[in-house]
Structure 1
């Protein structure tokens, strides 16, 4: 197990370095003037010249990349702006602050949104899919299939807007969505994010219901499940101990990818409900031409997906003994 984790960690570092290289050369080699993009749309000449010097644009492109990567691990000094401590993902000339400070300030919002929504769609999606598979061909199965198809077809901005209008603005059933730190008031934290959780979970619940149902139907027809039934094991034991474990393999796989994607920023959900998370931050970085911030959000999103994929690979061996890591 330790050898497997070490190999996957090394592979993750290499993957992140490749992503960092692609991101850097994409943003620095393609634009005619990266300093203009880094400085933002409204940038005085003296700040533009300062940005050009701090980005090292007077050096060869490869040395610029090494300096940028070195700053991530060792920090970096920006002339006239101060020191950016490690891990330094860059300096935002628009916000006049290290990029990582802004990301860490927005990260709790995105993590809170991800945790709540993932709990909702994982529990409801998997449970509904199992029930639909056990009632295959019956009315409950047909209702679940139609509901999941409808849920997968709707868009978050459409459902979110309707939910805000009817549940918040018109009937005052729920409070205006807002983020309150969990450590300050857990009830206000959950109440302020309840509606975004439910709306974000609608589409994901539909996908997990469909995948769980199809995989569970396949598992119920496997030889080892039929053997367990032939030995007289209770139906609940057969489903939970045998069929469900085989069903969880693809569920855990897509769950890891979805978690990493949401940590990278639920852009549409955050925009719809006015939450200041990583998604809104990346959108603002694009509109304000904040190149360092945009590059940092790309790396954070990629890093989240890589990390959660490692966790998923480790969980395989615990879920299904047929999977061997070595």
Structure 2
């Protein structure tokens, strides 16, 4: 077990170092004057020279990269001259909205998708199965921005026109100020972000469970007189945890892209909206910080999934 954990952590560190090298090359070695871009078009030559000195751009490239890597490891992601604020502080201010959105969406799509998939697999070809397949078809057919706009129109704009309010138009409220208001502002974003993934998980759960329920050990359990509920949940569902965990890790790693669109639609000031603003204003230090942070969370998510897979699948431990 120690060897498995060490190898996965070592590979994760290697990936992060490769990512840092790619980001450094893209933003600091590629043609152009990084100091001018970081300082902004209106910066004076003295300000550009100061930025160049602060970034160490007058030193050899290898020395610059080692310094960049060392600062990143210490949590120093640079300074945004456009916002007059450290990049890490900017990201920390936006992090609660994105974390709240992502955690809530993951919980919602698991609570929707997995039970629907189990319901469909228990009675293939039945009315329940057709309802489940209809949910899958609807969920995978609509992009998140279409769902978001439709949710705002039908659940905010039309009720508002009728003189009452079901949901707020958007924005983020802190959990610590009022948990009920926090959840109220995030229900529509959660649903928008979760529906497509819930449909995918329903389809995956149904397919995996149908395969498992056709195995010999399932027929043996039924022949022993176990109830169908015990056969499905005690033997069948436990066997599909590994592929679901693998899919969940990939989806959490890719969640930043979907969260970006949802944050824009609902006006949530999270990491996604910060990334969009930084690209529009060419705020290079913030772009670098967001890319590095996204890479770290992607690697961390896959690392956690590897550990879960190790715990769930005895063939790996063997």
Instruction: Calculate the TM-score normalised by the size of structure 2.
Output: 0.93
Task: Show the 5 A alignment for 1:241-252.
Answer: 241-252=234-245
Task: Give, in angstroms, the shift of residue 152 of structure 1.
Answer: 0.8
Mean Cα deviation higher: 120-129 or 256-265: 256-265
CA displacement, residues 173-222 of structure 1 (integer Å, 9 cap, x when unaligned): 21232211112211111111111001111111111111111111111111
Unaligned runs of 5+ in 1: 74-85
Mean Cα deviation higher: 260-269 or 106-115: 260-269
Q: Report if aligned partners of 1:157, 1:272 keep a CA contact under 8 Å in 2.
A: yes
Total equivalences in the alignment: 313
Q: Report if aligned partners of 1:92, 1:293 keep a CA contact under 8 Å in 2.
A: yes
Distance in 1 (CA, whole Å) between partners of 2:126 and 2:44 is: 68
Higher helix share: 2
Q: Give the match for residue 259 of structure 2.
A: 266
Is 1:314 matched with 2:307?
yes
Distance in 2 (CA, whole Å) between partners of 1:15 and 1:53 is: 29
Counterpart among 90, 95, 101 of residue 102 in structure 1 = 90
Q: Give the match for residue 323 of structure 1.
A: 315
Distance in 1 (CA, whole Å) between partners of 2:312 and 2:230 is: 16
Q: Report if aligned partners of 2:171, 2:269 keep a CA contact under 8 Å in 1.
A: no
Q: Secondary structure at the match of 1:324?
A: helix
Distance in 1 (CA, whole Å) between partners of 2:54 and 2:282 is: 17
Mean Cα deviation higher: 232-241 or 2-11: 2-11
Q: Give the match for residue 24 of structure 1.
A: 24
Is 1:123 matched with 2:115?
no
Q: Secondary structure at the match of 2:311?
A: helix
Instruction: Calculate the TM-score normalised by the size of structure 1.
Output: 0.90
Distance in 2 (CA, whole Å) between partners of 1:16 and 1:25 is: 14
Is 1:166 matched with 2:158?
no
Distance in 1 (CA, whole Å) between partners of 2:216 and 2:31 is: 59
Task: Give, in angstroms, the shift of residue 318 of structure 1.
Answer: 3.4
Counterpart among 120, 133, 156 of residue 145 in structure 1 = 133
Q: Secondary structure at the match of 1:180?
A: coil
Task: Show the 5 A alignment for 1:1-326.
Answer: 1-73=1-73, 86-171=74-159, 172-262=165-255, 266-320=259-313, 322-325=314-317
Unaligned runs of 5+ in 2: 160-164
Distance in 1 (CA, whole Å) between partners of 2:264 and 2:292 is: 21
Q: Give the match for residue 83 of structure 1.
A: none
Q: Secondary structure at the match of 2:226?
A: coil
| Structure 1 residues 245 and 64: alpha-carbon distance in aligned structure 2, compared to 1, 3 A threshold | same
Superposition RMSD on alpha carbons, in Å?
Answer: 1.8
Mean Cα deviation higher: 41-50 or 239-248: 41-50
Q: Which runs of 4+ in 1 moved over 6 A?
A: none
Q: Report if aligned partners of 2:193, 2:258 keep a CA contact under 8 Å in 1.
A: no
Q: Report if aligned partners of 1:264, 1:278 keep a CA contact under 8 Å in 2.
A: no
Q: Report if aligned partners of 2:144, 2:258 keep a CA contact under 8 Å in 1.
A: no
Mean Cα deviation higher: 99-108 or 22-31: 22-31
| Structure 1 residues 213 and 44: alpha-carbon distance in aligned structure 2, compared to 1, 3 A threshold | farther
Task: Give, in angstroms, the shift of residue 242 of structure 1.
Answer: 1.6
Q: Secondary structure at the match of 1:266?
A: helix
Task: Give, in angstroms, the shift of residue 248 of structure 1.
Answer: 1.7
Mean Cα deviation higher: 170-179 or 187-196: 170-179
Q: Report if aligned partners of 2:21, 2:65 keep a CA contact under 8 Å in 1.
A: yes
Q: Secondary structure at the match of 1:323?
A: helix
| Structure 1 residues 230 and 318: alpha-carbon distance in aligned structure 2, compared to 1, 3 A threshold | farther
Q: Secondary structure at the match of 1:184?
A: coil
Task: Give, in angstroms, the shift of residue 154 of structure 1.
Answer: 0.5
